[in-house]
């Protein structure tokens, strides 16, 4: 397959759109390599190495034209290419070579920004100068639309067209009517593939690369699918999804100019940064009370507040309110974090910034300030109306969450019921263990959920088979304690598997502060259960035996209260630099 890329952006290879085009080409290349896989040698490489003779069917040849680098004069309208020198323009510039390449290509990819609802001037010149490629006669349009067309001078059958474009407004929708009209006439209605994306300027903002890279990944996928026969509707739906919700994007875009809305004067870097951060706030995360985030830029000596409310956020530059969370850091650290050069939690552990007040905001940062794909319901990017709706709901992939109750239920059953009635209690415990797999329809299972079911069943069977419960019950507490304590030595302490649900899921496992907090808590709980067998054994020899389960619940209640407190206190202590 021969592909011609025409990059019509005046920015050349610095073009936002060109990033999408490169991703699309990467997908095509990947698809081609997968398709042919000639004796393990990627075919694109074979072409590069000049082994065209050995090329398998799916070999790719890609040529690129950067319109800004070419000498293409505007059409003179003399029609010489129709009558005096049929098929040849009277001007000797680079357009002759462009026409040769257009005739050579099987697929032409037009890559361009939207300028005034159409293509940029340089590209329009190139399009006009295609006149030698058609004959002067007037014929009906194939699809019967318009007032006629000119027949092709050359055999263009089987050639395909792809349009890739970004524009500056929040969505492609309603912006591309001119482009559709132009290419419907050139190629025939719907006789081309298009990827049109709003919010194009975001592709050059490194701080937002998590979201834009995600989009580019879908473009790459589209390229691969295109080669395989056509872009799948699921991929198309993702391509039609807004990068960010309209309000977020427009607030970010407005702030990015660094100019005050009130007086048009230039604003400080720190204020621009604060405004952009405020724009990323997601009102869906409103926790039921207004939060006031105070940003103290220690290197610039500037301080601003962001009020996170039910309807949205607002930036306060003076007349400050009482801050709920205060972050003290140089702006350089903020920028590194935002650009993904260092993780926020890592910077915190290295004491690169300090946090005072409510630390929960920090732990749930992505929930408040929209991680990638935090777009809102129905936020279609689609040009051309309602025929290509966004699927809504963000890039959020519903994931099953773990639940510690699944781990605890079997143990609790065994600790309470056999002490009251030996045999029935053991049967109840086994029944509870048997029910555990049912929870896995709704919840994500952990190794410890399964292990707990197996262990408790084993202990219950042991009692049923006649082993003394005075031995087996303390042994079960000991096993439980060992299970918890041992995980403190491994990579993920036991509680982290469960508490991560409240802190961005598996991403929390990369957060050193989260992991340290959980390691300490797991150890505390582990130690409690390593000691519990001692008094359990003694209690089981007294008249209090039926109440052992109840008595052994007292300490965990206090530990539970301690856990809730420690989970908040410890990260705040570390973040506060104490
Ligand atoms: C002269 C000019 C005209 C523009 N016209 C539009 C427009 O009509 N609609 C729109 O949404 N964006 C418009 N934009 C914004 C660009 O389409 C947008 O910045 C695009 O992402 C630039 O892509 P590029 O980096 O590939 O050149 C315009 C930009 C310029 C400089």
The finding on whether 116 has its CB within 6 A of some atom of ligand 1 is yes
The finding on whether 175 has its CB within 6 A of some atom of ligand 1 is yes
Residue 92 CA to residue 73 CA, distance in Å, equals 9
Q: What pTM was estimated for this model as a whole? A: 0.69
Burial of 258 (0-12, 13-18, 19+ CB in 10 A): middle
Q: Report yes or no on 133 lying in a domain.
A: yes
The residue whose CA has the least distance to atom 2 of ligand 1 is 115
Residues 100 and 199 in one domain: yes
Mean pLDDT of 241-256: 91
Q: Report yes or no on 211 lying in a domain.
A: yes
**What confidence score (pLDDT) does residue 377 get?**
36
Residues 411 and 543 in one domain: yes
- Nearest ligand 1 atom to the CA of 172 is 11
Residues 439 and 460 in one domain: yes
Residues 534 and 464 in one domain: yes
The finding on whether 257 has its CB within 6 A of some atom of ligand 1 is no
Q: If you measure from the C-alpha of residue 193 to the centroid of ligand 1, how many angstroms do you get, rounded to a whole number?
A: 20
Q: Could you say which of 244, 275, 299 is where a domain stops?
A: 244
Residues 103 and 65 in one domain: yes
Residues 40 and 137 in one domain: yes
pLDDT in tens, 471-503: 999 999 999 999 999 999 999 999 999 998 877
- Nearest ligand 1 atom to the CA of 11 is 27
**What confidence score (pLDDT) does residue 382 get?**
52
Ligand 1, from 112, 115, 216: best to mutate by most atoms within 8 Å of Cβ? 115
The finding on whether 253 has its CB within 6 A of some atom of ligand 1 is no
User: 154 vs 41, which has greater pLDDT?
Assistant: 154
According to DSSP, residue 383 is labeled: S
- Nearest ligand 1 atom to the CA of 17 is 26
Q: Of 94, 119, 107, 114, which Cα lies nearest the Cα of 162?
A: 107
Residues 6 and 122 in one domain: yes
pLDDT in tens, 502-550: 777 787 888 888 899 999 999 999 999 999 999 999 998 898 988 888 8
Res. 421 pLDDT band, cuts 50 70 90 = confident
The finding on whether 165 has its CB within 6 A of some atom of ligand 1 is no
**What confidence score (pLDDT) does residue 375 get?**
37
- Nearest ligand 1 atom to the CA of 200 is 21
The finding on whether 111 has its CB within 6 A of some atom of ligand 1 is no
DSSP states of 393-424 as a string? Answer: STTPPP-PPP-HHHHHHHHHHHHHHHHHSHHH
- Say what percent of the chain tops pLDDT 90: 66
- Give the CATH number of the domain where residue 197 resides: 3.40.50.360
The finding on whether 160 has its CB within 6 A of some atom of ligand 1 is no
Would the pLDDT of 52 be above 70? Answer: no
Ligand 1, from 113, 195, 197, 202: best to mutate by most atoms within 8 Å of Cβ? 113
Residues 9 and 134 in one domain: yes
Mean pLDDT of the chain: 88
Residues 15 and 90 in one domain: yes
pLDDT in tens, 169-225: 999 999 999 999 999 999 988 899 999 999 999 999 887 888 999 999 999 999 999
Q: Could you say which of 220, 244, 268 is where a domain stops?
A: 244
Residues 190 and 273 in one domain: no
The residue whose CA has the least distance to atom 17 of ligand 1 is 167
- Nearest ligand 1 atom to the CA of 198 is 11
The finding on whether 67 has its CB within 6 A of some atom of ligand 1 is no
Ligand 1, from 9, 12, 17, 168: best to mutate by most atoms within 8 Å of Cβ? 168
Q: How far is CA 550 from CA 9, 251, 474, 536, 554, in A?
A: 74, 56, 15, 11, 7
Residue 101 in contact with residue 4, Cβ under 8 Å? yes
**What confidence score (pLDDT) does residue 16 get?**
97
Res. 348 pLDDT band, cuts 50 70 90 = confident
The first and second tokens of residue 288, run together, are 């039921």
**What confidence score (pLDDT) does residue 444 get?**
92
pLDDT in tens, 263-272: 889 999 999 9
- Nearest ligand 1 atom to the CA of 165 is 26
Res. 228 pLDDT band, cuts 50 70 90 = very high
The finding on whether 17 has its CB within 6 A of some atom of ligand 1 is yes
Res. 373 pLDDT band, cuts 50 70 90 = very low
User: 485 vs 419, which has greater pLDDT?
Assistant: 485
Q: Report yes or no on 378 lying in a domain.
A: no
Q: Report yes or no on 103 lying in a domain.
A: yes
Q: Report yes or no on 308 lying in a domain.
A: yes
pLDDT in tens, 379-398: 455 553 332 222 222 333 34
Least confidently predicted of 204-208, 240-244, 375-379: 375-379
- Give the CATH number of the domain where residue 294 resides: 3.30.1050.10
Q: Could you say which of 207, 228, 244 is where a domain stops?
A: 244
The finding on whether 66 has its CB within 6 A of some atom of ligand 1 is no
pLDDT in tens, 426-456: 999 999 999 999 999 889 999 999 999 999 9
pLDDT in tens, 325-337: 999 999 999 888 8
Residues 143 and 212 in one domain: yes
The finding on whether 114 has its CB within 6 A of some atom of ligand 1 is yes
**What confidence score (pLDDT) does residue 396 get?**
36
Q: Report yes or no on 76 lying in a domain.
A: yes
Q: Report yes or no on 395 lying in a domain.
A: no
Would the pLDDT of 310 be above 70? Answer: yes
Token pair 């034209």: residue? 65
**What confidence score (pLDDT) does residue 378 get?**
38
The finding on whether 247 has its CB within 6 A of some atom of ligand 1 is no
Full residue range of the structural domain in which residue 149 is found: 2-244
Burial of 155 (0-12, 13-18, 19+ CB in 10 A): exposed
Residues 234 and 101 in one domain: yes
DSSP states of 13-36 as a string? Answer: GG-HHHHHHHHHHHHHHHHHHHHH
What's the number of domains the chain is made of? 3
**What confidence score (pLDDT) does residue 372 get?**
43
């Amino acid at each position: 397959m021969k592909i011609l890329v025409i990059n019509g952006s005046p920015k050349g290879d610095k073009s936002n759109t060109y990033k999408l085009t490169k991703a699309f080409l990467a997908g095509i290349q990947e698809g081609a390599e997968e398709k042919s896989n000639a004796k393990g040698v990627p075919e694109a490489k074979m072409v590069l190495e000049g082994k065209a003779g050995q090329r398998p069917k799916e070999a790719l040849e890609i040529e690129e034209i950067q319109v800004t680098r070419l000498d293409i004069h505007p059409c003179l309208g003399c029609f010489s290419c129709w009558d005096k020198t049929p098929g040849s323009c009277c001007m000797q510039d680079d357009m002759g070579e462009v026409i040769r390449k257009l005739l050579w290509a099987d697929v032409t990819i037009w890559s361009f920004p939207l300028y005034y609802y159409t293509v940029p001037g340089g590209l329009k010149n190139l399009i006009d100068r295609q006149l030698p490629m058609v004959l002067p006669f007037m014929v009906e349009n194939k699809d019967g639309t318009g007032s006629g067309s000119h027949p092709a001078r050359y055999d263009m059958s089987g050639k395909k067209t792809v349009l890739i474009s970004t524009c500056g407004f929040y969505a492609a929708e309603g912006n591309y009517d001119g482009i559709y009209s132009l290419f419907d006439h050139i190629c025939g209605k719907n006789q081309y593939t298009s990827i049109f994306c709003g919010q194009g300027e975001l592709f050059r903002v490194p701080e937002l690369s998590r979201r834009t890279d995600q989009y580019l990944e879908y473009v790459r996928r589209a390229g691969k699918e295109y080669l395989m026969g056509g872009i799948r509707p699921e991929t198309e739906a993702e391509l039609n999804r807004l990068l960010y919700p309209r309000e977020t994007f427009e607030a970010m875009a407005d702030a990015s100019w660094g100019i005050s809305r009130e007086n048009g004067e230039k604003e400080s870097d720190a204020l621009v940064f604060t405004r952009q951060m405020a724009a990323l706030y997601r009102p869906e995360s409103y926790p039921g009370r207004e939060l006031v985030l105070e940003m103290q830029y220690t290197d610039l000596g500037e301080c601003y507040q962001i009020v996170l409310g039910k309807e949205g956020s607002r930036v306060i530059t003076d007349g400050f309110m009482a801050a709920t969370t205060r972050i003290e850091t140089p702006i350089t650290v903020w920028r590194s974090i935002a650009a993904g050069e260092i993780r926020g939690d890592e910077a915190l552990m290295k004491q690169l910034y300090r946090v005072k007040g409510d630390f929960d905001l920090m732990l749930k940062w992505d929930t408040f300030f929209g991680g990638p794909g935090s777009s809102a319901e129905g936020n279609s990017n689609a040009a051309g109306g309602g025929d290509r709706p966004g699927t809504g709901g963000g890039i959020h992939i519903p994931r099953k969450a773990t639940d510690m109750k699944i781990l605890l239920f079997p143990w609790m059953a065994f600790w309470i019921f056999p002490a009251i009635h030996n045999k029935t209690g053991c049967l109840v415990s086994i029944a509870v263990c048997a029910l555990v797999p049912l929870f896995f329809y709704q919840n994500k299972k952990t190794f410890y959920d399964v292990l707990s079911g197996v262990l408790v069943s084993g202990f219950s069977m042991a009692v049923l088979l006649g082993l003394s419960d005075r031995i087996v019950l303390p042994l079960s507490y000991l096993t439980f304690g060992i299970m918890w304590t041992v995980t403190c030595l491994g990579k993920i302490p036991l509680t982290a598997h469960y508490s991560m649900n409240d802190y961005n899921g598996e991403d929390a496992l990369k957060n050193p502060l989260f992991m340290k907090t959980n390691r300490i808590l797991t150890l505390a709980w582990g130690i409690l259960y390593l000691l519990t067998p001692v008094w359990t054994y003694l209690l089981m020899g007294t008249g209090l035996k039926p109440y052992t389960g109840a008595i052994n619940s007292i300490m965990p209640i206090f530990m539970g209260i301690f856990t809730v407190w420690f989970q908040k206190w410890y990260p705040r202590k570390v973040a506060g630099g104490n």
